[in-house]
């Protein structure tokens, strides 16, 4: 055996054993003639002792060893003196008296220390990711991710699901984010697309009679990046036949209950609460609300539509909304702080921020002259504001007013420490609209994707083309203000699917060209089916309490989509382009 034990295994019970350990030199300390070293592998750290009186030759070799040399040592386990025991280490009771050293490979001085809590830029960490991953904290994150994946596979297997792989090279289809395209060499001018999700294929698996499918799968989306997005990411994808919405939700809830108990030791209560999409927007200003703190939005439109403040009058009469919230403890805010908050909501499109200071016996503001005392008291009563609070209001288009004030709500919660970081608040958002109107393109588009089914009672709205009233059978799972999964009951009727394509502006020719294979499959007895997909990278960051999914992806890209380690994306040889039938356009100066 190349090694008999790992570096986190030996204790006082192993004293006097002859052992072989392998790992990396984590540190070295010269104490006169005696040299101490820490040997590290993924399991932990063991202290080594090189004594010239015990073995002069090995002691001589020890002088050559430097941090991050990869070595094998042979020696005897010895109990440490009582006053040198390190209680912070599982191996802190013992040390290895080294008899022999084999150097597997030498190491240059690394660009940063291989230890936790280092201060080094993300760019450097990602360039030397193989060194970054040696750190104990990073090893722990990958182990958590492995535990999550294993639990998922075991749980779904016990529920009768089977894992089926789907293609990585597939057909580019409309809707959703931009595709990553792959040129097909043997069919010049044609392209594969990397899958944004296995959506169509998992529906085809339902037509194939698989009934319960799952896959831990890589997905690709060419979209603007931020902390919780990567061009390639991993999701849990599952689909079920002969189900209604509650059947899918029930399986998901049991999955998360078991997963949280396994990984976090946290017992979740079932069922998870549900909230209508419309209520989430009005009450929290978001379709992924953080429900861990009780600051809520309030619709004041009806209450102020006839007030003396022309801005509110104008917005109300033009179909906009006036939304308000009570900000705890903001009554003493300075003018500069108010200006900063005004700029903040401006980033979300709001044209301004009205504010009212709540005092013991009155509500004050620079614009109080435009409101009656009754109206001002109503602001306090409806928002639940207390003395020392500030009432903030945004008057704008409905989406803008809700989103801007919803973002302010989250900022208030974080800045004032109102959010209980130890809570895990799960919430299903249901009854999404099936369509949303895209003003830029002047057309209706899918809220989720065009394969989403809708409520039976809304069929008449679809026929009358009252598209804003059609509610979908889709559902998002939200945890602490993050959307961790989304799914729906799918359309399984061929003609209904064609009708949805028609609403989205696809001609029969376009339908056949882009989705003909799916529509043909739907002519062979498709079952009713539904499913869901969960972003696993985002989920694991909640377990590790990281802010970015890059922390739990072994080899991530930067926010610019670049891999500092390999230099991807990079130029390719002109001969490769020629073989693929491609030619690059000259860059504009």
Nearby residues of 524 by Cβ (< 8 Å), 6 or more positions away? 207
Structure tokens at 563: 């891999």
**pLDDT recorded at residue 585:** 87
User: Angle formed by the axes of helices 398-415 and 335-346, to 10°?
Assistant: 130
Task: Give the integer Cα–Cα distance in Å for 368 and 316.
Answer: 18
**pLDDT recorded at residue 344:** 97
**pLDDT recorded at residue 570:** 94
Closest C-alpha to 277, from 445, 419, 468, 425:
468
Task: Give the integer Cα–Cα distance in Å for 362 and 359.
Answer: 5
Closest C-alpha to 180, from 126, 218, 207:
218
**pLDDT recorded at residue 367:** 94
DSSP 8-state symbol, 47: E
**pLDDT recorded at residue 229:** 83
What is the Rg, in whole angstroms, of the alpha carbon atoms belonging to the chain? Answer: 30
The model carries a pTM of 0.91
Structure tokens at 392: 């903030």
Q: Are 28 and 42 in contact (CB under 8 A)?
A: no
Residues of the chain with pLDDT under 70: 174-176, 227-228, 588-589
Closest C-alpha to 7, from 42, 57, 58, 50:
42
- Let me know how long the chain is: 589
**pLDDT tens across 396-408, in order?**
999 999 999 999 9
Task: Give the integer Cα–Cα distance in Å for 176 and 221.
Answer: 9
**pLDDT recorded at residue 174:** 66
**pLDDT tens across 157-194, in order?**
999 999 999 999 999 976 568 899 999 999 989 999 99
**pLDDT recorded at residue 224:** 78
**pLDDT tens across 327-375, in order?**
999 999 999 999 999 999 999 999 999 999 999 989 999 999 999 999 9
Task: Give the integer Cα–Cα distance in Å for 509 and 157.
Answer: 41
DSSP bridge pairs for 530: 240, 489
Structure tokens at 516: 């003909």
| Torsion angle of the four alpha carbons 329, 334, 340, 345, in this order, in degrees rounded to the nearest 10 | 50
Task: Give the integer Cα–Cα distance in Å for 272 and 429.
Answer: 10
Closest C-alpha to 277, from 127, 433, 136:
433
Q: How many CA atoms lie within 13 A of 49 on its CB side?
A: 14
Structure tokens at 351: 């044209």
Task: Give the integer Cα–Cα distance in Å for 398 and 468.
Answer: 14
**pLDDT recorded at residue 82:** 92
Domains of the chain, CATH where assigned = 12-105 (2.40.50.140), 117-272+527-589 (3.30.930.10), 293-419 (3.30.1360.30)
**pLDDT recorded at residue 76:** 97
């Amino acid at each position: 055996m190349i090694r008999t034990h790992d570096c986190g295994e030996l204790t006082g019970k192993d004293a006097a054993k002859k052992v072989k350990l392998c790992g990396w030199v984590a540190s070295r300390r010269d104490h006169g003639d005696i040299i101490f070293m820490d040997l590290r592998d993924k399991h932990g750290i063991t202290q080594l002792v090189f004594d010239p009186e015990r073995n002069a030759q090995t002691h001589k070799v020890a002088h050559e060893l430097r941090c991050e040399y990869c070595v094998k040592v042979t020696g005897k386990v010895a109990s440490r003196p009582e006053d040198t025991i390190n209680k912070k280490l599982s191996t802190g009771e013992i040390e290895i008296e080294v008899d022999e050293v084999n150097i597997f490979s030498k190491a240059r001085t690394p660009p940063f220390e291989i230890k936790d809590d280092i201060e080094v830029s993300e760019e450097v960490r990602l360039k030397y990711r193989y060194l970054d991953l040696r750190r104990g904290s990073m090893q722990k994150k990958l182990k958590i991710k492995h535990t999550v994946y294993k639990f998922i596979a075991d749980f779904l297997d016990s529920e009768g699901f089977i894992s089926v792989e789907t293609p990585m090279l597939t057909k580019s289809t409309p809707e959703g984010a931009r595709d990553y395209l792959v040129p097909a060499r043997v069919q010049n001018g044609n392209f594969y697309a990397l899958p944004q999700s296995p959506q169509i294929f998992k529906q085809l698996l339902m037509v194939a009679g698989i009934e319960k499918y799952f896959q831990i799968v890589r997905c690709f989306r060419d979209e603007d990046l931020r902390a919780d997005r990567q061009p390639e990411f991993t999701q849990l994808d599952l689909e079920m036949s002969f189900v209604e919405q509650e059947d899918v939700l029930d399986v998901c809830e049991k999955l998360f209950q078991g997963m949280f108990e396994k990984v976090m030791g946290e017992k979740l209560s079932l069922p998870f609460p549900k909230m209508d999409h419309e209520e989430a927007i009005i009450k929290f200003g978001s379709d992924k609300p953080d429900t861990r703190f009780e600051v809520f939005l309030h619709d004041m439109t009806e209450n102020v539509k006839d007030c003396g403040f022309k801005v509110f009058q104008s917005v109300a009469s033009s179909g906009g909304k006036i939304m308000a919230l009570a900000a705890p403890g903001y009554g003493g805010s300075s003018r500069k702080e108010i200006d900063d908050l005004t700029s903040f909501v401006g980033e979300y499109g709001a044209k301004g921020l009205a504010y009212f200071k709540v005092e013991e016996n009155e509500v004050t503001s620079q614009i109080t002259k435009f409101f009656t005392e009754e109206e001002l008291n109503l602001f306090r009563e409806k928002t639940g504001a207390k003395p020392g609070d500030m009432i903030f209001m945004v008057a704008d288009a409905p989406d803008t007013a809700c989103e801007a004030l919803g973002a302010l709500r989250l900022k208030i919660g974080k800045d004032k420490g109102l959010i209980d970081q130890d809570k895990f608040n799960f919430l299903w958002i249901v009854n999404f609209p099936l369509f949303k109107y895209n003003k830029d393109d002047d057309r209706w588009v899918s809220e989720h994707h065009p394969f989403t089914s809708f409520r039976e009672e809304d069929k008449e709205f679809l026929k009358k083309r009252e598209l804003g009233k059609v509610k979908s059978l889709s559902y998002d799972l939200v945890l602490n203000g993050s959307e961790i999964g989304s799914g729906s009951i799918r359309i399984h009727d061929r003609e209904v699917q064609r009708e949805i394509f028609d609403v989205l502006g696809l001609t029969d020719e376009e339908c056949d060209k882009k989705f003909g294979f799916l529509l043909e499959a739907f002519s062979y007895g498709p079952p009713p089916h539904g499913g869901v997909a969960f972003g696993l990278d985002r989920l694991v960051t909640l377990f590790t309490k990281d802010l970015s999914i890059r922390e739990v992806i072994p080899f991530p890209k930067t926010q610019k989509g670049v891999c500092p380690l390999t230099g991807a994306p990079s130029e390719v040889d002109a001969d490769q382009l020629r073989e693929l039938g491609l030619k690059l356009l000259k860059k504009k100066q």
